[in-house]
């Protein structure tokens, strides 16, 4: 049988992003926005604000992480 030459996670050339709370916050924003469509417009606005802030934070962290690789 041939041996497997798989690299270990985190080995050179492979990048795994660090833990982040942005995806959870983004999910909360999306959920609030959808619930607000059924209930009140104020909930939609709050949900969209959370969504935009979370998406912006997640993109900012990802770009910073990407730049640190170089």
pLDDT of residue 18: 78
Per-residue pLDDT of 9-35, as tens digits, reads: 555 677 777 788 999 999 999 999 999
- Residue-range domain boundaries for the chain: 22-65
pLDDT of residue 68: 83
- Max mean pLDDT among 5-9, 30-34, 58-62 falls in 30-34
Q: pTM (2 decimals)?
A: 0.73
Show contacts of 51-60: CB within 8 Å, 24+ apart. Answer: 51/26, 53/25, 53/29, 54/22, 54/25, 54/26, 54/28, 54/29, 55/22, 55/26, 57/22, 57/25, 58/20, 58/22, 58/23, 58/26
């Amino acid at each position: 049988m041939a041996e497997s030459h798989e690299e270990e996670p985190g080995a050179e050339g492979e990048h795994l992003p660090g833990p982040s709370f942005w995806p959870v916050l983004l999910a909360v924003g999306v959920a609030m926005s959808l619930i607000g469509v059924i209930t009140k417009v104020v909930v939609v606005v709050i949900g969209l604000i959370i969504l935009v802030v979370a998406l912006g934070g997640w993109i900012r962290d990802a770009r910073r992480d990407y730049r640190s690789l170089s």
